[in-house]
Amino acid sequence: LKFSNNFSALIKSKKCVICKEPIYVDLNGWDGGHNPWPVRKKGRCCSECNDTVVIPRRLYEAGFSGEKVKSLIKQGKGYKYE
């Protein structure tokens, strides 16, 4: 991966196994995406699918109610990463 002022240089050729969109390099430099289990058994997923599909599914499978999962996701949307 070569960095430049060109935005396309920040895109890896890896595709999300859930939405099929490119997996972008995180601000910390990580370009490996996220573990998509339990939604998919193989591959990697993008941050958007991790936050909106994978994490809610994990919470649900861990025993949280659908309403509790929605509440937790809603609370997290306002979180500012530092």
pLDDT tens digits, one per residue of 9-57: 444 469 999 999 999 998 888 999 999 999 999 999 999 999 889 999 9
Residues 52 and 46: beta-carbon distance below 8 Å: no
pTM of the predicted model, to two decimals?
Answer: 0.72
**Does 64 score more than 80 pLDDT?**
yes
Residues 24 and 49: beta-carbon distance below 8 Å: no
Question: Residue type at 32?
Answer: G
Question: Residue type at 23?
Answer: I
Q: How far apart are CA 35 and CA 64, in angstroms?
A: 20
Predicted confidence at residue 72, as pLDDT, reads 80
